[in-house]
Amino acid sequence: MSDIKKVVLAYSGGLDTSVILQWLRDHYHCEVVTFTADLGQGEELEPARAKAQALGVEEIYIDDLREPFVRDYVFPMFRANTLYEGEYLLGTSIARPLIAKRQIEIARQTGADAVCHGATGKGNDQVRFELGYYGLEPGIQVIAPWREWDLNSRERLLAYAQERGIPIEGKKPGGGSPYSMDANLLHISYEGGVLEDTWTPAEDDMWRWSVAPEQAPDTPVTLDIEYRSGDPVAIDGQAMAPHELLARLNQMGGDNGIGRIDIVENRYVGMKSRGCYETPGGTILLRAHRAIESITLDRESAHLKDELMPRYAELIYNGYWWSPEREALQALIDHTQTRVNGVVRLKLYKGNVIVVGRRSESDSLFDDNIATFEDDAGAYDQKDAEGFIKLNALRLRLGARRAKP
């Protein structure tokens, strides 16, 4: 049926990818290599190895990618203060280019002809994965089962698994989460179930990482985050690896009811979709980064970044991490971060991240001699403002004269 001999499958060990593994063999009569990425989703991944072995897979890759995920993807994105449509911190989107990259590397290493993902034909992930594949390996063949097969319901997937003897654990009716969930070190997302009705509130027991703000402690938590070249490097003076730092902020933020959002977003494929997201550490980092930039980044650089950010966010959301335009924007953003050094002090309290202090010993542009409301000893000549205002008002005055009858 096909010239495909070997496929690298992005494999979780769940219902969908377990069925896909066998379907690839049935449909393409090919060898399957499984790849499972540890991005800090908080689940034990060795069962995925056992399931793949039970299904006769000989080449199994389970990679701990937590540090490169945060260091090379999450932190560069946060240098831009990135938000999609003003709210979404892009936790799912930013994971896809790394998964695609590693899949392509494994395909090269194993001599595979194709790569395969389990994303549906309705979502953004199919686009993100495949743009990544093609951007890294232009001639790779891509298999997207949800666009090919007729197993378009949970019942059909379960029936297929039963017919082929595929063991599916914990899939009894009424068991498990009713939501489609995706987790990594940056966030956990929830879609489907009651969330498909945009008027129905999310159930209280849906959330996994955070307490409700009203249930958070009555005593605020204060912490210091140190920045170096735009990236956080320490909490309360303790240096940490990127993934360890984000994990710590997730715990602190979750304990204080921080990071929950409920949004309706515009998918790249055209439809609107409701999703709930928990991003405790990311919410803290966004506020902290803007605070340290407020004293270390000059006005026009900061405003230029704010103008470019929506475009940068859209590129990541739509799957263009490996595009030349994203790389060009990244180079500009990274250039602005060379002097973004210092410490931000934050207070976490009942769902709020409150900036209470910021300082930079070497790179602050804040001059209290100039900004003071007290005697500035001549540091700023207020008479200079008169000419500045008149020059900037010139076009307004000319326009006003012309408008007169």
Catalytic residues: 16, 96, 125, 180
Which region holds residue 86: left if phi is over 0, alpha if psi is between -120 and 50, else beta?
Answer: left
Q: What are phi and psi of 6, to 5 degrees?
A: -145, 135
The CA distances from residue 33 to 19, 20, 49, 65, 83, in Å, are 14, 12, 11, 18, 35
Structural contact between residues 352 and 221, judged by C-beta atoms closer than 8 angstroms: no
End-to-end CA distance of the chain: 81
User: Which residue shows structure tokens 């997730």?
Assistant: 250
User: Which residue shows structure tokens 């000319």?
Assistant: 398
Rounded to whole angstroms, the Cα distance separating 269 from 318 reads 9
Structure tokens at 63: 């990679």
The CA distances from residue 149 to 6, 55, 262, 314, 316, in Å, are 19, 20, 32, 30, 29
Rounded to whole angstroms, the Cα distance separating 6 from 138 reads 17
Structural contact between residues 358 and 291, judged by C-beta atoms closer than 8 angstroms: yes
